[in-house]
Amino acid sequence: MTREEFLQGLKEALDGNMDASAIQENLNYYNEYINEEVRKGKTEQQVVDTLGDSWAIAQTLLEADENGADGGAAAGSSYGTYMKEEEGRVFEIPWWKKALFILAVVLVIVVIISFVAGVIRILAPILIPLLIAMLIIRLIGGSGSQR
């Protein structure tokens, strides 16, 4: 479905059930949303597919309008609810953000390993002779106490 088909379907579903100014506000709102998403890099087809059926959106707008909201508020509130449901199912992270996250994790791991290796390098000349001395004392002391 194209942008024009989506907006025409929305207009037809709202026509006769909502005043003309509210219909135009809703059409402007969805048209601007599609423009904004296209500017962000999505194709018009992807945006329209994400929005879903214009008739379902129209029903939501009409229900919101019946509950006392004006046309513009109905567009904003019902649209927000609709998109939150859609966004809950589809969450796209750009490839460069994934790569940046992986790079950050690798960097943290390298820093931790470097820190541990540095501590071992500093303490090894002290700890190794100390451990050998403790082992010798234990072996000598242990055999003497068993007699």
What tens digit of pLDDT does each residue of 45-63 get?
998 998 888 888 888 888 8
pLDDT digits (tens, 9 = 90+) for 56-103: 888 888 888 777 654 444 444 444 444 444 444 455 678 888 999 999
Instruction: In whole angstroms, give the CA distance from residue 3 to residue 54.
Output: 10
**Taking Cα atoms as reference points, which of 63, 67, 66, 33 lies closest to residue 50?**
33
Rounded to an integer, the average pLDDT of 9-34 is 90
Q: Which residues contact 65 (CB under 8 A, 6 or more apart)?
A: 18, 22, 71, 74
CB atoms near residue 22 (< 10 Å): 21
> To the nearest whole percent, how much of the chain has pLDDT over 90?
42
- Give me the residue spans of the domains in the chain: 3-89, 93-147
